[in-house]
Structure 1
Amino acid sequence: MRTIDLRGESLTPVGMLASVPRAAQARAEALAAAETIVDDVRTGGEVALRDQAERFDRVTGHAIRVPAEHLAQAAASVDPEVRAALESAIDRVRRGSAAQVPAPQTTEIGPGARISQRWQPVTRAGVYIPGGKAPLASSVVMNVVPAQVAGVTSIALASPPQAAHDGRVHPTILAAAALLGIDEVYAIGGAGAIGALAYGVPGIGLDPVDVVSGPGNNYVASAKRVVAGVVGTDSEAGATEILIVADESADPDLVAADLVSQAEHDEQASAVLVTDSAELAERVAERVAERAAQTRHAERVAAALSGPQSAIVLVDDRAMAEAFSNAYAPEHLELHLVDASAAAERFTSAGAVFVGDQTPVSLGDYMAGSNHVLPTGGQARYAAGLGAYTFLRPQQVIEYDHAALARARAGVVALSDAEVLPAHGEAVEARFAARSGSAAAAG
C-alpha cells in the first residue's frame, strides 16, 4: 500500500477532496461501457442478453428465466449451516429494516384543513445480486428483505449465469431467493441486468420495474446512472470501500485483517487507513503485507491494495482525520479509536459506521442486521444506503373543506396574481361563485 503524508498540510475543503485516493479513470471507463451495454439490451432484448452472457460469463444456451425446479433444488440441497445462517440474517435484517418505515402522520393546518403524510411502496422492484468473483447470497437478503418490509409485492431478481453451474444462477443465491419466497429470477449479469430490469425484456417475460437496487462492480454502479430517470435506483453501490480511522491504541493486526477483508472483493476495491500514528501505520503495513500474501485471494487482494484507490494516510491529529474521512465519505467506516463511541458523532459522511474494534465490516456484511448495500465513490456525502425507504414514496394527501378554503382564498389569489398566473386564483374563486349562485337560486 502506498502512503499519503498529509502531515503539516493546511488543506482547504477542495484540497482535502483532491487528496482522496480514487480510481477515477476506472469509473469513467466503466460508465462509457455501461452505456453501450444498457442500450444494447434496450434495443436488442434477449438477443443482446445472450450475446453478453457468452462474452462476459462464458455461457450459452442457458435458461434466462430460472425454472421453478432450479429454485426448489437449490433450497433442498443448500448446506444446513448456510441455511441456518441465511435464516438468521433474514430475521436480523427484517428487524433492522422495520424501523425504516415511517408511520403515517396527519397535520392539522387549521379547522377543516389537513395534510396526511403517507409512504407508498413501489409496485415492482428489481434487485441485482453479484455472482462473479463472489456469489453474494447475503445480498439477496439485503435487497429483498427491505423491499418486502416496505410492502413491495412484485420482486424480480437478477444474477449472473455461472459457467461452473451449467449456466444456472449460483445455487446458494437461488437458495436464498427461495427462502424469501422469490420465484421470479433471471440469469443475467452485470450492467446488462440493470438495463433489463429497467426497460424490461418481453421475450423472456420480464416486465420493467420501478426501482432497481443491488451492489456490484463499477460497471453495475455506472449502469444505474445510465438508467436513472427511467427507474428509481438505490445509491451507486460499486466496488467496495473501507476506510479505517485509527489512533495509537489500535491493534495493527485487526486493522490489517479488516483492510484485507474488503480488498478480497475485487481488484477495484478500496482499502484506506487514516491515522495520526506513524508507528501504527508502519505496523499495519507490515501486517497487511503478511496477511495479503497468505489469504486465499492473494492475487486479487494485491491488485486492490496496490491500486491508486488504496493507501495509508498520515494526518496531524484527530481533527484532520475527521475532515479527511468526511471528505472521502466511505462506503464502510471503521473507528479503531480509544473513544470510538463518543467520536462517532463527528464522522458524519459514511454509508455505515462501525464503532470499535469488535465491530468489523464483515459483521455488517452478514449478520449485524444493518444493510450492506451502501453508497460508494463519495456518494455517502449525500446518499443513503439501501433500506426499506428505498422502495417507499412519500405522498402528501391534502383535504380542505369550504370554510378552510375560504381562509386561504385571499392568499392564493394574491400570489397567483403576483406570479401572473391568474387562472390559479380563478380556480379558487370559482368555488365561491358556484356557492353564491346556488344560494341566490335557492333564495
Structure 2
Amino acid sequence: MTTWTAPFIAADTDLGSAPILRREFTLDDDHGAVTAATLDVSALGVVEAWLGGQRVSDHLLEPGWTSYEWRIRVVSHDVTAHLADTAAGGAAVLALVVGNGWAAGRLAWGGGGGWYTDERAGFAELRITFADGHEQHIATDTDWQALSSAVTADQLYDGQDIDARLRDGSFLTPGEVTVPSVDGHQGRTSTVHTVDIGERELVADTVPPVRPLAEIAPVAIWTSPSGATLLDFGVNLVGWLRVTATGPAGTVLTLQHAEVLERDELGTRPLRTAKATDRFTLRGDDEPETFEPRFTFHGFRYAQVDGWPGTHDELRAAVTAVQVGSDLTRTGTFVSSHELLNTFHDNVVRGMQGNFLSVPTDCPQRDERLGWTGDIAAFAPTASYLFDTRTFLADWLRDVWLEQQHADGVIPFVVPDVLKYSPAEDFGTPDATAVWSDAGVWVPWTLYQ
C-alpha cells in the first residue's frame, strides 16, 4: 500500500486560465542510468501531466469523480520512457495542467458549482530509481511555480476555450519560460501554496481510465435554413471535436454540440443551461493549428461550426469527432439476422459507453450527468453482460457506502451526491426509495452473480 506525503498545491493568484503547475529539476548524478520512474498524480479538479516534454499518457479527466469529501483517487503512471533522453545530472520538467472538472466546476442544473473546493489544486509524486538502486523523489511543494495557459475557460457542461495566441511550449522544457499576453488575457506567473485536504483519504486508482475510444468522421455537412454550418456524425457519441484550421490571427471557431435537430436547426433546448460550446482562437500562423478540448465532454450527434474560414469540403477533412469514455473491456456481444435488432443492440452499447465516464451516469449532454442510483440499479445486469464492470462498479459502490454512512443509512438519489449541496435541486431529506435505494443491493448482487 502506497503512502503519499506530498501536499496538494494551487496558484497564489487567479491566473485567468487553467493553471500550469511546473517544477524544473535535475536528475541526481553518479548513480547510473534511470532504470524505473513512476509518477503518481491527482487533483482537486482534473489534471493532465507532462514530463520530459510529452504528455504522460492518453488518460483523460484524471483522477475522475469520487465522493471528494472523503476520498480522492491517485493515478500511477510508468514514466521511465519520459526520462530516457535526460542524462544523469541533466534537467527535466514536470508539469501539471489543472482543469475545473467535477471538484471545482459547476454540477447539476441549478447553476452552482465548486461544491468540493473553491480552488483547483494539483498533486504529484515522482519516484525515480537509478541503476545502483538510488532513489530520487520529486513532489508538489511550495517550490513549484504556476503559469497561465491557453485554456481560458473550461467547464464540463459548458465547454472549453483555447486561445492559440497564448500557447507556448516553453513550460515543458528547462530554462526560461515565456508567458504570452493578448487581447485582455494577461500572461501571468505565480508562486503556489499548499491546499489542506483535511481528512480526505488518498486512494490508489483501480478503475479503467477515461480515454479516447474511437474517432468518427462526419457523414454530412450542410447549411441550415438560418445559414449555420451543421455537421452530422451519424451516431450519438460522447466526447468532442478535434479540428485543424488555418486562418487570420484572432479568428474564433465556435463549435456547439447537440443530440438532435429542431426545425432543421441545432436542437439545443434539451441541454437546458449547458452551453456545450467550445471556442478556438487561431494564432494566425501559416502552419495549420490543431485544437482538441480535453477538460470537457459533450453528448452529441450534430454540431454547429461558426467562423470556419474555408469550404464545407475543407471542414470535412479538418474535423473528427473523438469518442471518449471509461475504457472497459468488452465481454458480451450480440448479433442476429435482423438488422433493426442489431442496430438496437448497438445503440444500447453506445448508450452505455456514453454514460460510463468515471461514474455511471444518466445522460451525457445536459446540465446533469449525475450518478443516479436508480438508473444503474436497473441497468447493471445489462452493463455487466456487455462489459467487464467489476472494478468500475466496485469503486462506485465505495462511494455509495460512504454517502450512505453520512446520510443516516439512506442511499441518496445520486452518487456522488452533489444534490445535497445545491438548493436549486432540493429534494428535501431523502428517504429510502424503491429502485434508487435498491442500488445498494442490486448492483453488488449483479457483480456477485
Instruction: Please classify the TM superposition score into its range, dividing by the shorter chain length.
Output: under 0.3
Q: Which has the higher contact order (CA 8 A, sep 6+)?
A: 1
TM-score, with structure 2 as normaliser: 0.24
TM-score (norm 1): 0.25
Q: Computing the radius of gyration over CA atoms, which structure comes out larger, 1 or 2?
A: 1
User: Whose helix proportion is higher, 1 or 2?
Assistant: 1
Q: Which has the higher strand share?
A: 2
